[in-house]
Amino acid sequence: MVSRQQTEAGAARHEAATAVTKQRGRPRSFDRETALERAILAFWEHGYEATSVSDLTRVMGIGAPSLYAAFGDKRSLFDEVVREYGTRYGSFGERALAEEPTARGAVERMLREAAVEYTAPGRPHGCLVIHAATNCTSPEVEESLRERRNANIAAFESRIKAGIAEGELPADTNAAALARHTGAMIQGMSQQARDGAAREELEALAELAMALWPRP
C-alpha cells in the first residue's frame, strides 16, 4: 500500500520535473543567493515540517515553478539550506576545534561563541540543525539531521582524545561522556536561546560547563 507521504513525495517530484521542463532555457528572474538566504531564515525559524512550499515561495519572492527549477523539491532545498547554514552561520564550532591549541580551549571558545551566535539580533535564535528536527515526521530528514548532530559529537570526542594523548587532560578522562556533555550543552543552549535566554545567561552556562572539565 502506498502511504500518503509517498504519494505526496511522488507528486512533488512530478511537479518539480514539470517545472524544470517549463523553465529550461528561460533566464532566471531572481537572485538565487538572496532567495536561498530567505529560505534559510524560514526553515531556521519554523523548522522543516512547519515550513510549506507556499511559505517558501512567499518569503523567497518566487513562484513554485522557479523554486522547483532552481532548487528542486522541498527536501532538496532543505538539504542545500542545511549545508549553507553550516557555512554561513554554523562553522564557529569547526573553527574552534581546528584553531585552538587545546581541547579545553576549543570547547570553551565554541560554547562562548554559541552564546553569541544563538542570540544574535536580526535572525532566528538557536541552531537551525537542532530546531529543524522538532516535530519532524519525515524519517529521511530526521535521520539526516541526527547524523549531523552525531558527527559533531564525534568531532568533540576526537578532539578530547587528542587532548588526553597530549597530556592536556588526565589519562582516565571519559572522552565519550565529556563529548556528549558538550553536545548536550550546545543543544540546550540552542533551545534556551529560542526560549528567550540572553547572551549573558548563555555565557554563564558556558562558564559553569567548563568548570566541570577535568584538570591535568
In sequence order, what DSSP letters do the residues of 150-169 get, joined into one string? HHHHHHHHHHHHHHHHTTSS
User: How many residues does the structure list for the chain?
Assistant: 216
Fill in the amino acid letter for 191.
Q
> Are 105 and 43 within 8 A, CB to CB?
no
What local confidence, expressed as pLDDT, does residue 122 receive? Answer: 95
Closest CA to 186 of 164, 155, 140: 155
> Are 131 and 44 within 8 A, CB to CB?
yes
Cell of 72: 528542486
Cell of 105: 580551549
Closest CA to 148 of 93, 97, 72, 101: 93
Q: What is the DSSP letter of 214?
A: P
Residue with the three cell numbers 568533540: 156
- Written as tens digits, the pLDDT of the chain (216 aa) is 444 444 445 545 555 445 444 444 454 578 999 999 999 999 999 999 999 999 999 999 999 999 999 999 999 999 999 999 999 999 999 999 999 999 999 999 999 999 999 999 999 999 999 998 877 888 899 999 999 999 999 999 999 999 999 999 999 999 999 999 999 999 999 999 999 999 999 999 999 999 999 987
Write b or e for each residue in 187-205: b if 16 or more Cβ atoms lie within 10 A of its Cβ, otherwise e.
Answer: bebbbbbbeebebeebbeb
> Are 57 and 73 within 8 A, CB to CB?
no
- CA dist., res. 113 & res. 67, Å (int): 34
What local confidence, expressed as pLDDT, does residue 216 receive? Answer: 78
- CA dist., res. 206 & res. 114, Å (int): 9
> Are 152 and 183 within 8 A, CB to CB?
yes
Cα–chain center distance at 193 = 14
Q: Is 49 helix (H, G, I), strand (E, B) or coil?
A: coil
Cell of 142: 530526521
Q: Measuring CA to CA, how many Å separate 113 from each of 34, 109, 194, 205?
A: 26, 6, 16, 12
Whole-prediction pTM:
0.83
